[in-house]
A = this chain, B = another copy of it.
Amino acid sequence: MNLWSDDNGSMMEAFMASSDLWGASSSSAAVQPVPSSAAAASFNQETLQHRLQTLIEGARESWTYAIFWQSSDDDGSSVLAWGDGYYKGSGGEEEKRKLPAASNGGAAEQEHRKRVLRELNSLIAGAPVAVDDAVDEEVTDTEWFFLVSMTQSFFNGADLPGHVFITGAAAWLAGASRVTGGAAASYERVRQALTFGIQTIVCAPVAGGVVEFGSTDLIYQNPNIMDKVRFLFNHGGGGAATTTTTTTTTTTTSWMHDPSTVTADHGDSDPSALWISEPAGGDGKDAAFPFPAPLPKELRFSDELCNLPSGELLNFGDEKKTQRAAAAAAAPVSFSSAVLLPSGDSDDEDLEASIREAESRPAAPQPLPEAERRPKKRGRKPANGREEPLNHVEAERQRREKLNQRFYSLRAVVPNVSKMDKASLLGDAVAYINELRSKLQALESDAISMNAQLEALRNRDSPARSSASVSFSSTGGGAAAAAPGCSGVEVDVKIMGKETMIRVQSGRANHPAARLLVALMEMDLEVVYASVSVVNDLMIQQATITMPMRVYSNEQLSAALQARISGTRRPR
- The reply to whether A406 and B427 contact each other, CB–CB distance below 8 Å, is yes
Decide if A158 is an interface residue (CB 8 Å cutoff). no
Q: A453 is contacted by which of B259, B454, B531 (Cβ under 8 Å)?
A: B454
Q: How far is the CB of A227 from chain B (nearest CB, A)?
A: 10
- State whether A433 and B430 are in contact (beta carbons under 8 Å apart), knowing that A527-B511, A571-B518 are contacts in the complex: no
- State whether A413 and B442 are in contact (beta carbons under 8 Å apart), knowing that A428-B267, A534-B528 are contacts in the complex: no
Chain A contact patch, size range: 35 or more
Complex Cα gap A434–B271 (Å)? 7
Complex Cα gap A543–B446 (Å)? 28
Q: A430 is contacted by which of B406, B418, B442, B526 (Cβ under 8 Å)?
A: B406
- The reply to whether B426 and A406 contact each other, CB–CB distance below 8 Å, is yes
Interface SS of chain A: helix
- The reply to whether A436 and B438 contact each other, CB–CB distance below 8 Å, is no
The residues in A between 222 and 271 inclusive whose CB is less than 8 angstroms from any CB of B are 250-251, 253, 255, 257-263, 266-268, 271
- The reply to whether A428 and B259 contact each other, CB–CB distance below 8 Å, is no
Complex Cα gap A456–B460 (Å)? 14
Q: How far is the CB of A203 from chain B (nearest CB, A)?
A: 23
**In the complex, chain B residues whose CB is within 8 Å of the CB of A521:** 511, 514, 570-571
Q: A261 is contacted by which of B303, B529, B569 (Cβ under 8 Å)?
A: B569
Complex Cα gap A422–B424 (Å)? 16
- The reply to whether A533 and B526 contact each other, CB–CB distance below 8 Å, is no
Decide if A440 is an interface residue (CB 8 Å cutoff). yes
- The reply to whether B427 and A403 contact each other, CB–CB distance below 8 Å, is no
- The reply to whether A413 and B426 contact each other, CB–CB distance below 8 Å, is no
Decide if A450 is an interface residue (CB 8 Å cutoff). yes
- The reply to whether B567 and A258 contact each other, CB–CB distance below 8 Å, is yes
Complex Cα gap A434–B423 (Å)? 21
Decide if A377 is an interface residue (CB 8 Å cutoff). no
Q: How far is the CB of A441 from chain B (nearest CB, A)?
A: 8
- The reply to whether B436 and A437 contact each other, CB–CB distance below 8 Å, is yes
Decide if A124 is an interface residue (CB 8 Å cutoff). no
**In the complex, chain B residues whose CB is within 8 Å of the CB of A268:** 427
Decide if A481 is an interface residue (CB 8 Å cutoff). no
The residues in A between 409 and 454 inclusive whose CB is less than 8 angstroms from any CB of B are 409-410, 412-414, 418-419, 422-424, 426-444, 446-447, 450-451, 453-454
- The reply to whether A251 and B486 contact each other, CB–CB distance below 8 Å, is yes
Complex Cα gap A534–B528 (Å)? 5
Complex Cα gap A572–B267 (Å)? 20
- The reply to whether A439 and B440 contact each other, CB–CB distance below 8 Å, is yes
Decide if A513 is an interface residue (CB 8 Å cutoff). yes
Complex Cα gap A569–B259 (Å)? 8
**In the complex, chain B residues whose CB is within 8 Å of the CB of A433:** 271, 410, 413-414, 429, 432-433, 436
Complex Cα gap A271–B56 (Å)? 37
**In the complex, chain B residues whose CB is within 8 Å of the CB of A407:** 426
Decide if A458 is an interface residue (CB 8 Å cutoff). yes
A258 to B, closest residue via Cβ: B569
A414 to B, closest residue via Cβ: B433
- The reply to whether B440 and A263 contact each other, CB–CB distance below 8 Å, is no
Complex Cα gap A429–B429 (Å)? 8
- The reply to whether A531 and B534 contact each other, CB–CB distance below 8 Å, is no
The residues in A between 396 and 410 inclusive whose CB is less than 8 angstroms from any CB of B are 399, 402-403, 406-407, 409-410
- The reply to whether A413 and B435 contact each other, CB–CB distance below 8 Å, is no
**In the complex, chain B residues whose CB is within 8 Å of the CB of A508:** 526
Q: How far is the CB of A364 from chain B (nearest CB, A)?
A: 21
Decide if A520 is an interface residue (CB 8 Å cutoff). yes
**In the complex, chain B residues whose CB is within 8 Å of the CB of A485:** 250-251, 253
- Nearest 7 CB-CB pairings of A with B: A267-B427, A406-B426, A267-B430, A259-B438, A530-B532, A514-B517, A511-B521
Name A's B-contacting residues (CB within 8 A): 250-251, 253, 255, 257-263, 266-268, 271, 303-304, 381, 399, 402-403, 406-407, 409-410, 412-414, 418-419, 422-424, 426-444, 446-447, 450-451, 453-454, 457-458, 483-486, 508, 511, 513-514, 517-518, 520-522, 526-534, 539, 543, 567-572
- Name 5 interchain pairs, CB-CB below 8 A, sorted by A: A267-B434, A268-B427, A450-B454, A521-B571, A571-B571
Beyond the given pairs A303-B419, A522-B572, 12 more chain A to chain B contacts, judged by CB atoms under 8 angstroms and listed by A's residue number, are A257-B434, A260-B570, A266-B427, A267-B434, A271-B430, A406-B430, A413-B433, A433-B433, A454-B457, A513-B530, A514-B521, A528-B534
